[in-house]
Amino acid sequence: MEMCCERAREFYQRAIDMFYDSQSVIVIEDSDITDITDITLPSAGAPMQEDPDASVVILDESGTAEPEAVATPSIPAPSLTLSLKLICWNIQGLEERHLKERTLAAINVLQEESPDIIFLQEVIPSIHALMAEHLCSTYHIFPGRRSGYFASMLLKKAEFQVQSVLMEPFPGSRMLRNLIIAKARFHSRNMKFMTSHIESMAANTAERHSQLSTTFEHMRNADEEISIFGADTNAKDFEIDGLRGEMTGIHDVWEALGSTPETRFTWDMSQNDNLGFRGPRIRYDRLFYHQKEECLRPIELRLIGKGRLPCGMFISDHWGLMTKFNLRETASVT
């Protein structure tokens, strides 16, 4: 155990040094995380080291289990259908009012829903600490930064063999936005998951377009059989429509399920008064998927976080997106 602890510390320092020295992307490969078993994340309320330019991957406390040997298939068997559940949610971490109550309520929702994948936006260090305390036994946790506010990705340990995690900065971002890219194996399928908090504000339309264009390019050119991207895109419908030419083979989950009005608006100021005003209704939060063959199909989409808390607020000014997919895999027997 002492050797594992020492290697964990060395790896963590190397990740930090890579960022400070090169300002480039940081990649964790499976060889780095296989035997790291004792990285301790901060407890709730513990301060995290502040550095406005840091973008460092922090692994959960148990790392990734050693991959088991897989028998070479010899006889094809009928296809199996698996279920894959995902939540994407901007949790309004920059709003200080009743932050801990709202964060604990969000954690409670995540625990009750028990998704396989979680994409979060507007996470801050104190929220990350609470998430780590309550969820790190179940999920690998990959925050996009360790200061300021950032996106975060959580993958269920029991379901995924994580192969690599990359934090790719958007070079034109004025808000230090980046793209978290995780490659993982889910049963027989190699998959790529991506999340981000895309550049906001009307003045940054061009940069928002660039960030989404970069992400869609990742999806189109992926080596993996399936790519899934979920984010607070900060994009209005006309902005996404302007990118349709770059979305060949990329599907919007809401559209694929029939564009139902009940699940359209994720930032709905006609119902949500966290910001203290009424009016706009916008579909900022979106989920996209790309596949090399027809094996993934969304079967459900609903909005979460719509219950008012005892403090009088909602968990966030955004409703969360919960979606379920059916995934077909070809099983084999020896």
Strand partners, 92: none
Backbone angles phi, psi at 48, to 5 degrees: -105, 145
Query: Among 194, 154, 151, which residue's Cα sits nearest to residue 175?
Result: 151
The per-residue pLDDT for 101 is 98
Residues identified as active-site: 232
Residue ranges in the chain assigned as alpha helix (H): 2-22, 30-33, 99-113, 125-135, 205-220, 237-241, 253-256
CA distance 268 to 318: 7
Backbone angles phi, psi at 126, to 5 degrees: -65, -35
177 alpha carbon, distance to own chain's centre: 14
The mean pLDDT of the chain is: 83
Per-residue pLDDT tens digits for 135-166: 999 999 999 998 999 999 999 999 999 999 99
The per-residue pLDDT for 138 is 98
The per-residue pLDDT for 128 is 97
Confidence of residue 329 (pLDDT cuts 50, 70, 90): confident
Per-residue pLDDT tens digits for 200-246: 999 999 999 999 999 999 999 999 999 999 999 999 999 999 999 99
Sheet of 117-123: strand order equals: 139-143, 150-156, 117-123, 75-90, 320-333, 296-304
Residue 279 in this model has a pLDDT that exceeds 60: yes
CA distance 178 to 181: 10
The per-residue pLDDT for 92 is 98
Q: When comparing pLDDT for 251 and 47, which is higher? A: 251
* Token pair for 205: 């339309």
| Averaged pLDDT, 31-56 | 37
Residue 98 in this model has a pLDDT that exceeds 80: yes
CA distance 115 to 95: 25
Per-residue pLDDT tens digits for 181-207: 999 999 999 999 999 999 999 999 999
Confidence of residue 326 (pLDDT cuts 50, 70, 90): very high
The per-residue pLDDT for 77 is 52
Residue 70 in this model has a pLDDT that exceeds 60: no
Three-state helix/strand/coil letters over 152-194? EEEEECCCEEEEEEEEEECCCCCCCCEEEEEEEEECCEEEEEE
The per-residue pLDDT for 47 is 38
